[in-house]
Amino acid sequence: MMHGFGWLMFNRFCQGGFNGGFFGIWMYLIVAGLAVIAVVLIVNKSLKKTSDENAIEVLKMQYVEGKITEEEYMKKKKVIQGK
């Protein structure tokens, strides 16, 4: 069993924060919401990067196989990269 100042602070936080129980519930929801938003943003960024890399690989293969010209390759690559 923990005793001392650390346990006292943890116990107060778990009982609803320092300003009352209702505020504590909202604080938990806000923190959980921010965590979810952060995870979603990280996953979306990762998926977009992978998608762009795959598109460039397909474009390279089309150029190597002679299906598109160098000019078309460069133009399409700029569009994919957003430049």
- Model-wide pTM > 0.75: no
pLDDT single digits (tens) 12-62 = 555 544 555 666 788 888 889 999 999 999 988 877 777 778 888 999 999
Looking at residue 36, its pLDDT comes to 94
Q: What are the C-alpha distances in Å from 17 to residues 2, 20, 27, 30, 74?
A: 19, 6, 8, 13, 57
Residue 1 predicted with pLDDT over 80: no
The domain locations on the chain are 5-81
Task: Give CA angle at 24 (21, 25), nearest 5°.
Answer: 95
User: Which residues neighbour 76 within 8 Å (Cβ) at sequence distance 6 or greater?
Assistant: 59, 68
Q: Given this model, what pLDDT does residue 64 score?
A: 93
Specify the higher pLDDT residue, 64 or 83.
Answer: 64
Q: Three-class SS of residue 71?
A: helix
